[in-house]
Amino acid sequence: MTAVMDQVRAAAGGQLQLPSVPRVVRRLISQLRDPGASILELVDELEQEPQLAARTLRIANSPYYCGRRSLASLKDAVAIIGTDTLRTLVISGGLEAVFVAVPGVNLRQFWLDATVTAKAARSLARLAGADGEAAFLAGLLHNVGHLILCQAFAATLPAALAGVRSARGAELAALERSLCGMDHARVSAAWLDELGFPASIVDAVAQHLDEQPAPGTLAPVLALATQVAASIEAGDNAQRALHKLDAGLVAAASLVADSLDERFGAQYEQIAAGGDA
C-alpha cells in the first residue's frame, strides 16, 4: 500500500500534503492491533486535545450512547460506552478534523454520507457476526482517498467532477483513474495503511470496489454499506433498498437474505432518519 501512496505523491509532482494526525490518534490507531490494550492511560493525554476531547464527549453524550445520563469526563465515557467505542469515536473524530478544506468538495455533505455508510457497515457487520467497530471505521474512511486526490490534483480533478457530483463508488473510481491514474479506494487504503490501521480495515477499503470482494472479510460488508448509503440518498424505503442489494455481496458477507428483511429493515429506517442502528 505504501507504493500506492508513493505513486500519488509522484503523480502530484511533490505537491501532495497529507494532513497531520494528532499523536493521541496515532497511538489509538496502533492500539487497534492490540485488542487487550487499555485506553485509560491515554485519557489524560486526550484531554490535552481540547477540541477533539470536546467532540468525543459531545458524541458520547448523544442519546444512542448514554441515554439521559450526562457524561462530564472522558473517564465517564469509558465507563458507559466502553473502550472500543470510545477509541473508535476518538479516531474517527480526529481523522475527520484534519481535512479542513478540500477543493471542490462539500465536506459537510461528504462526512454525512461517510457517517451513513459507517453506521450501515457497523450494523451489517454485527448481523454477520463480524467486528462492528472495525466496519464503522472502514465505512467512515473508505472514501477519504477522494479528498486526498482532490488536494493532490486540485488543478484538474475538482473541475472535471463538477458536472458529475452524484458520482460515487465504482463510477467515481473510474473517473478518478482516468484523470489521476488511481482511485479513491486504493488511495484511502494506502493512507490508512501508512497510519497503521489493522489489515482487516485496510483490506476492506482497498477491495470493496472489486467485482468479487473476498468472502468472509469486511470488504463485502463495506460494499453493501455503500449501496445502503446510496439508497438512503435516493430516498428509498427499506423494502426497496434491501431489494437493490447485490445478492452476491450478501452471500460473500455471510448474511442471510431473510435475516436482512427481518432485522435490518428497522435499522435501515433508523439510519435513514439520522439515528444509529
Q: Look at residue 236 and tell me whether its pLDDT is greater than 80.
A: yes
pLDDT at 154 over 80: yes
Asked if 150 and 40 sit in the same domain, the reply is no
Amino acid in position 97:
A
Evaluate whether 28 touches 91 at the Cβ level (below 8 Å). Answer: yes
Provide mean pLDDT across the span 35-62.
Answer: 77
Whether pLDDT at 52 is above 70: yes
Percent of the chain surpassing pLDDT 70? 93
Contact 238, 107 (CB under 8 A): no
Q: What is the pLDDT of residue 1?
A: 67
pLDDT classification of 69: cutoffs 50, 70, 90: low
Domain range for 76 is 20-98
Sign, CA dihedral 7-12-14-19, equals negative
Predicted pLDDT at 189: 93
User: So what's the pLDDT on residue 68?
Assistant: 60
**Of the residues 29, 63, 98, the one at which a domain ends:** 98
| Residue (of 154, 231, 219) closest to 188 by Cα position | 219
pLDDT over 90 percentage in the chain? 45
| Same domain assignment for residues 46 and 129 | no
pTM over the 0.75 mark: yes
Mean pLDDT of the chain: 86
Residue 59 predicted with pLDDT over 80: no
Q: Which three cell numbers stand for residue 234?
A: 435516493
Domain identity same for 8 and 109: yes
Of the three residues 98, 121, 148, the one that is the final residue of a domain is 98
> Is the same domain home to 138 and 7?
yes
Total of domains in the chain: 2
How far is residue 220's CA from residue 112's CA, in Å, rounded to a whole number?
21
Q: Assess whether pLDDT exceeds 80 at residue 239.
A: yes
Flag whether pLDDT at 7 surpasses 90.
no
CA 26 to chain centroid: 16
Confidence category of residue 15, pLDDT binned at 50, 70, 90 = low
Band of residue 171 on the pLDDT scale cut at 50, 70, 90: very high
Q: Are residues 81 and 8 in the same domain?
A: no
Residue 257 · residue 247 · CB < 8 Å: yes
Q: Which residues contact 14 (CB under 8 A, 6 or more apart)?
A: none
Which pLDDT score is estimated for 21?
A: 84
CA–CA dist 220, 103 (Å, integer): 30
What is the sign of the dihedral through the CA atoms of 263, 63, 223 and 213? negative
Same domain flag for 8 and 135: yes
Assess whether pLDDT exceeds 70 at residue 139: yes
Residue 51 shares a structural domain with residue 108: no
Residue where a domain stops, chosen among 81, 98, 115: 98
pLDDT at position 100 = 83
Residues 113-124 have pLDDT tens digits of 999 999 999 999
Same domain? 88 vs 74: yes
**pLDDT on residue 213:** 93
Is pLDDT of 112 > 80?
yes
Same domain, 197 and 277: yes
Q: Are 158 and 256 members of one domain?
A: yes
Q: What is the CATH number of the domain that holds 111?
A: 1.10.3210.10
Does 148 share its domain with 266? yes
Looking at the structure, tell me whether residues 131 and 78 fall in a common domain. Answer: no
Structure confidence at residue 249 (pLDDT): 95
The mean per-residue pLDDT over the stretch 238-243 comes to: 93
